[in-house]
Structure 1
């Protein structure tokens, strides 16, 4: 088990570590034991971080993109060199099993390497000519870094969502002020140390730990921050957008989801059950992409439900460091109580409990909730419509493809969806009809840096990953010149 100093510095500004006035207690959710104390900061540190980033911006944005690419590759190599330690940090701080933490760390490496590749040659692609309907003028479009950016990241995938924002921002030539979650800051602190060791110029990357009120809110409203990118709940996302509106700055939001998995009547049942389990129970269901509404063709419904119940009950929960552990704990007591409260409210509204719904009897300590399956969930209930962020699957039969699509699309969210069918042409047609930013067909929730992340409706504003993630940190400038 990792050991930590009594009080970790939670502020990294202009190449220097320092302590702040906020005492943040970091807990291991699997044991409920205190892991560390992090000295977080407040609005004054945000001001210092933004000032440092402003001073660094001219030099960094003017650095050849091939040089910026080299820094990104060095960061990826630094993460690779500390892979085992970072996996342990994720497991300790987030409660996720080692194999899940390993996927996270590998995602970080892949993301920094991908944006290093995009940064290579970016200078040559910065200016593009624009055809005009006259010879009297010529025009070009230019992509430029938008300036100092504020990045606010959540607790469910520490360091992963950070990489999704930091890597494209640095590739574009922006300077960064990062606010990690106060619940899970340890991996981000390690990542900051790696970035420092790679020699990234002072002020280009800055980190300020603290609460949303003390640090996040001032970042969103700061007049010298050109763009805010936030990942988290819809309620907080609305607040971020409102504060950003005070200075009319750019905003990207990656928010909630209430996604559907559609099991068509020709589906392979074994595959469907595995995809439902993965879509609902990976990371203990703490995913904005959780396919927590499972829609099953009626001829398969009873058999599917029986197999899903058996699969859920076979999942091994416990210490994330035990090799056989398949599902870890929820991130903290508040989330544990929230999930159990949603389950109880759903049952009170008429839902039927198939399995789970409580703490595992063998795990009296830690924020564990059993993998849960519910049926007959009312369509107007919070359990069916709201993001639970826990290991809870709601299963419902459907009688036609049109009904399944209608049920899937009947949501305020539209992040992802999954389709299971032996007929790939039919599956593609259904995928095209779903109002979601990413649809998987007969596949687990694989995410590649090359493909966009983001959704429809209240799930997202903008896109991350792929070239779209880079463009999120660029401004568009047109230059029109009279012909002489």
Structure 2
């Protein structure tokens, strides 16, 4: 077991109070690392270091092109350390190693994308309707960013937040989830070795109630970006609103995955499994509501159950494993509570629904891939985010009913549509209230495309060209080109 200190102003440091938190391997049920249990004093030190880096020192005067070079160097560092980082994340959150290696190998592209964008931030020279006036707009960094990330894909969220923030010229204080902080702390050394100046990225760890709140409320923080549950997001939003901080939030989802009778049903079944059982369902875009046209509902359910029976649970480090453990004990109990609620509401469990016994796992933190049918959209299991391997199958008659059911939820993060009819593909994609719509595929991502939600799935977008906008302020500047002051001082020009 190793201790992993915080990273503040370019150096690794313990918490001011000297306390530590234990990080448990969710597969083995063993403590494998310790992270500092930080508090308000640590948040203050990190924010002040970020503010100094923003206002003085090499970062404050660095050219945008040079910033881009540093971001590319960070991407290169991640590429060199991809296997090690994947192993750390698997140890910390239990996701299968094969997926984490795929994520780590893809992650440098986020850094390269924003490295290329850094020196392409442009203002404008509008032709204003004022005589003897030259006007321009410039884009400036919003300031110090507090970035709070979730435990299911820590370094992916670091890239989605830090790469555009740094490209814009901001500085950052990262607060990873207390359940999975080690990979983010390992990233600190990669950033330092890439040549990032001290204080540009700082990493503080601890409980959200003890360090997250002080960080969000800090008067020197200009913007908050958060990935996590909608309930936590609402609390953070309220705290940030007190001082009018800019906010970006990627929150929960209850995404519909919609299968029409004319779809390629083999592909749709694979897409349904990928949408809910990938990462053991612990993803915000999980297609946890499977809407199936009534004419094929029974046959498609049988097909899906047969495919689900082939899923292998086990050691996340094994190439044979498809699903690892639930990442945290609280999440494990939460998923079980939703299975109980579904049974109580009259949904019919056709596979799974129980705790799984897996060789090598002492704490039993595995839940069988679970499918419920006879689900109505007003049931708790169909309305609330579960964040686990639990699928609800809901029937529909036609396009209109599919859209009505799909949109009848407070979330709007993602959706899937399976049909061979291009007209229907387009109509459904436009009608669905979701930030991302996949057509005849699911779980496809790119740094070039924005991700974000409608309704209570969040605020703003991450990724793509628009992903940098929330880290920039637009300033208007007006120059008088006339000679002397001839305007009436009591009238607006």
TM-score by length of 2: 0.94
Q: Indicate yes or no: 2:95 matched with 1:99.
A: no
1:51 counterpart (30, 48, 51): 48
Q: Which residue of 1 aligns with 2:292?
A: 296
Q: Does 1:456 align with 2:454?
A: yes
State the secondary structure of the residue aligned to 1:101: helix
Q: Distance in 2 between matches of 1:61 and 1:8?
A: 29
| 2:65 is the alignment partner of 1:66 | yes
Conserved? CA contact 2:94–2:316, under 8 Å: yes
Match of 1:307 among 285, 303, 308: 303
In 2, the alpha carbon distance for the partners of 1:349 and 1:22 equals 44
- Counterpart in 2 of 1:338? 334
Q: Give 3-state SS (helix, strand or coil) of 1:127's partner.
A: coil
Q: CA contact under 8 A between 1:126 and 1:144: conserved in structure 2?
A: no
Aligned twin of 1:239 = 235
Unaligned regions of 5+ residues in structure 1, if any? Answer: none
2:12 maps to 1:13: no
- SS of alignment partner, residue 130 of structure 1: coil
Which consecutive residues of structure 2, in runs of 5 or more, have no partner in the other structure? Answer: 483-493
Counterpart in 1 of 2:39? 42
The alpha carbon displacement at 1:288 in A equals: 0.8
- Deviation at 1:252? 0.9
Question: What aligned pairs does 1:252-263 form with structure 2 within 5 A after superposition?
Answer: 252-263=248-259
Distance in 1 (alpha carbons) for counterparts of 2:296 and 2:242? 53
How far residue 362 of structure 1 moved from its aligned partner, in angstroms, is 4.1
Matched residue SS, 1:275? helix
Pick from 164, 167, 181: which aligns with 2:160? 164
> Equivalent residue for 1:414?
412
Q: Which has the larger radius of gyration?
A: 2
Q: Aligned to 1:282, which of 278, 288, 296?
A: 278
Alignment of 1:53-132 (within 5 A): 53-58=50-55, 59=57, 60-119=59-118, 121-122=119-120, 125-132=121-128
Deviations 1:65-86 (A, max 9, x none): 1101111111111111111111
Out of 218, 224, 229, the position equivalent to 2:225 is 229
Identify the residue that residue 176 of structure 1 maps to in structure 2.
172
Kindly state the Cα deviation for residue 98 of structure 1 after the two structures are TM-superposed: 1.4
Q: Which stretch has the larger CA shift, 53-62 or 162-171?
A: 53-62
User: Displacement of 1:424 after TM fit?
Assistant: 2.1
Q: CA deviation at 1:474?
A: 0.5
2:4–2:185 CA contact under 8 A, matched in 1: no
CA distance in 2: counterparts of 1:106 and 1:470, whole angstroms: 23
Provide the rounded CA distance (Å) in 2 between the counterparts of 1:425 and 1:190.
48
**Alpha-carbon distance change, 136 to 95 in structure 1, aligned in 2, over 3 angstroms:** same
CA distance in 1, matches of 2:69, 2:193: 13
Q: Deviations over 1:398-418 (max 9, x none)?
A: 111100011000010000000
**Contact 2:151–2:180 (CA<8 Å) still a contact in 1?**
yes
Q: How far off is 1:381 after superposition?
A: 2.0
RMSD: 1.3
Post-superposition CA distance 1:294-329 (Å, at most 9, x none): 001112111110011111111011001111111111
Secondary structure of 2:353 counterpart = coil
Counterpart of 1:429? 427
- CA deviation after TM superposition for structure 1 residue 134, in Å: 4.3
Of 198, 201, 209 in structure 2, the residue corresponding to residue 202 of structure 1 is 198
Question: 1:12 is paired with a residue of what secondary structure?
Answer: strand
Cα distance in 1, alignment partners of residues 60 and 378 from structure 2: 50
In the alignment, the residues of structure 1 paired with residue 106 and residue 454 of structure 2 have an alpha-carbon distance, to the nearest angstrom, of: 24
Q: Does 1:481 align with 2:486?
A: no
**Paired residue secondary structure (2:273):** helix
CA offset at residue 103 of structure 1? 2.2
| Cα distance in 1 for residues equivalent to 2:328 and 2:223 | 30
**Aligned positions, number:** 476
CA deviation digits over 1:153-172, x for unaligned, max 9? 00011111111001111110
Contact kept in structure 1, 2:280 and 2:325, CA below 8 Å: yes
CA contact (8 A) 2:50 2:144 kept: yes
Alpha-carbon distance in 2 for matches of 1:219, 1:381: 37
Deviations 1:60-118 (CA, angstroms, capped at 9, x unpaired): 24310110111111111111111111111111111111111012212321111111111
1:360 Cα deviation after fit:
2.0
1:22/1:210 contact within 8 Å kept? no
Give the 3-state SS of the residue equivalent to 2:154 in structure 1.
Answer: coil
Is the contact between residue 350 and residue 378 of structure 1 (CA under 8 Å) also seen in structure 2? no
SS in 2 for 1:258: coil
Secondary structure of 2:125's partner? Answer: strand
SS in 2 for 1:115: helix
Q: State the alpha-carbon separation in 2 of the partners of residues 231 and 354 from structure 1.
A: 33
Shift of 1:178: 0.5
